[in-house]
Amino acid sequence: MKPVYGKNFKLGILGGGQLGRMLIQEAASLDIQIHVLDPTHDAPCAELANSFTCGEFRDYDTVMKFGTDKDLITIEIEDVNTQALKDLQAQGVKVCPDPAHLEIIKDKGIQKQFYADHNIATSDFRLIESGTELTADDLPCVLKARTGGYDGKGVAVLRSADDLAKAFDGPCVVEDLVDIEKELSVIIARNEQGETKAFPVVELVFDPVANLVDYLFAPANIADDVAASAEKLAMQVADALEFRGIIAIEMFLTTSGEVLVNEAAPRTHNSGHHSIEGNICSQFEQHLRSVLNLPLGSTETLRPAAMVNLVGAEGYTGPVIYDGFDDLLRMEGVYPHIYGKSTTKPFRKMGHVTILANEVAELPAKVAQVKETIRVISK
Q: Is residue 5 part of a domain?
A: no
Q: Is residue 113 part of a domain?
A: no
Domain boundary among 74, 95, 116: 95
Do 149 and 230 sit in the same domain of this protein? no
Beta carbons within 8 Å of 119's beta carbon, 6+ residues apart: none
Give the CATH number for residue 28. 3.40.50.20
Q: Is residue 251 part of a domain?
A: yes
Give the CATH number for residue 134. 3.30.1490.20
Do 129 and 234 sit in the same domain of this protein? no
Which mean pLDDT values do the consecutive 10-residue runs of the chain (379 residues) have? 64 97 92 94 96 98 97 96 98 97 96 97 96 92 89 86 92 94 98 96 93 95 97 98 97 97 97 98 97 96 98 96 97 97 96 96 97 96
Domain boundary among 143, 176, 209: 176
Do 368 and 304 sit in the same domain of this protein? yes
Give the CATH number for residue 254. 3.30.470.20
Do 333 and 238 sit in the same domain of this protein? yes
* pLDDT given for residue 264 in this prediction: 97
Do 132 and 249 sit in the same domain of this protein? no
Do 252 and 324 sit in the same domain of this protein? yes
Do 272 and 149 sit in the same domain of this protein? no
* pLDDT given for residue 30 in this prediction: 85
Amino acid at 238: A
Do 164 and 193 sit in the same domain of this protein? no
Do 238 and 365 sit in the same domain of this protein? yes
Q: Is residue 107 part of a domain?
A: no
Q: Is residue 243 part of a domain?
A: yes
Q: Is residue 277 part of a domain?
A: yes
Report which of 261, 226, 224 is spatially closest to residue 240, judged by C-alpha positions. 261
Q: Is residue 103 part of a domain?
A: no
Q: Is residue 342 part of a domain?
A: yes
Can you give the chain as a three-state secondary structure string?
A: CCCCCCCCCCEEEECCCHHHHHHHHHHHHCCCCEEEEECCCCCCCCCCCCEEEECCCCCHHHHHHHHCCCCEEEECCCCCCHHHHHHHHHCCCEECCCHHHHHHHHCHHHHHHHHHHCCCCECCEEEECCHHHCCHHHCCEEEEECCCCCCCCCEEEECCHHHHHHCCCCCEEEEECCCEEEEEEEEEEECCCCCEEECCCEEEEECCCCCCEEEEEECCCCCHHHHHHHHHHHHHHHHHHCCCEEEEEEEEEECCCCEEEEEEECCCCHHHCCHHHHECCCHHHHHHHHHCCCCCCCCCECCCEEEEEEEECCCCCEEEEEECHHHHHCCCCEEEEECCCCEECCCCEEEEEEEECCCHHHHHHHHHHHHHHCEEEEC
* pLDDT given for residue 2 in this prediction: 46
Do 54 and 150 sit in the same domain of this protein? no
Domain tally, the chain: 3
Domain boundary among 176, 204, 238: 176
Do 162 and 191 sit in the same domain of this protein? no
Do 202 and 144 sit in the same domain of this protein? no
Give me the domain span that covers residue 231.
Answer: 180-378
* pLDDT given for residue 1 in this prediction: 38
